């Protein structure tokens, strides 16, 4: 039960940060889903760092659960990414939709790798 509470706390904090990024960037009225992109890239970077630290025993298992499953899970947002991509498709913005998928996947993989290497 204790791990569920840790995930709950971490997820809440991650969700608040995700909401904050969306709120911060909302005034710019982008034609591209940059807030979701930024949250996912940063979350992957943080997850890479945390994964490397946890495999080396530099953070406790409980801290890893709270931050990796909780915070990073709440901060990143696959469902919003999918919805925004779908909305671009419905609007006939096929290039933007395809670039959102390609950029998100590519940059998130690089970001995760950079986090792993940074903490190595």
Each residue's pLDDT tens digit, 42-99: 999 999 999 999 999 999 999 999 999 999 999 999 999 999 999 999 999 999 999 9
Pair 59, 50: CB distance under 8 Å: yes
Whole-angstrom distance, CA of residue 89 vs CA of residue 102: 14
Candidates 86, 77, 85; CA nearest to 102 is 85
Report the chain's mean pLDDT, rounded to a whole number.
97
DSSP for residue 58: S
- In whole angstroms, how large is the CA radius of gyration of the chain? 15
Domain range holding 56? 2-119
- Evaluate if residue 20 carries a pLDDT over 90: yes
Q: How many domains does the chain have?
A: 1
Whole-angstrom distance, CA of residue 10 vs CA of residue 28: 28
* Pairwise pLDDT comparison (1 vs 66), residue with the higher score: 66
Pair 118, 49: CB distance under 8 Å: yes
Where do we find the tokens 């990143």?
76
Tokens, residue 95: 């290039």
The reply to whether the predicted model has a pTM over 0.75 is yes
């Amino acid at each position: 039960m204790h791990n569920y509470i840790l995930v709950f706390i971490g997820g809440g904090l991650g969700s608040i940060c995700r909401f904050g990024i969306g709120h911060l960037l909302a005034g710019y009225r982008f034609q591209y889903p940059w807030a979701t992109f930024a949250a996912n890239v940063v979350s992957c970077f943080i997850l890479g760092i945390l994964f490397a630290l946890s495999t080396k025993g530099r953070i406790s298992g409980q801290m890893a659960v709270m931050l990796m499953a909780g915070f990073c899970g709440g901060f990143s947002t696959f469902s919003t990414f999918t919805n925004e991509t779908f909305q671009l498709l419905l609007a006939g913005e096929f290039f933007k939709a395809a670039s959102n998928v390609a950029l998100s996947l590519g940059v998130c993989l690089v970001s995760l790798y950079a986090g792993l290497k940074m903490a190595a």
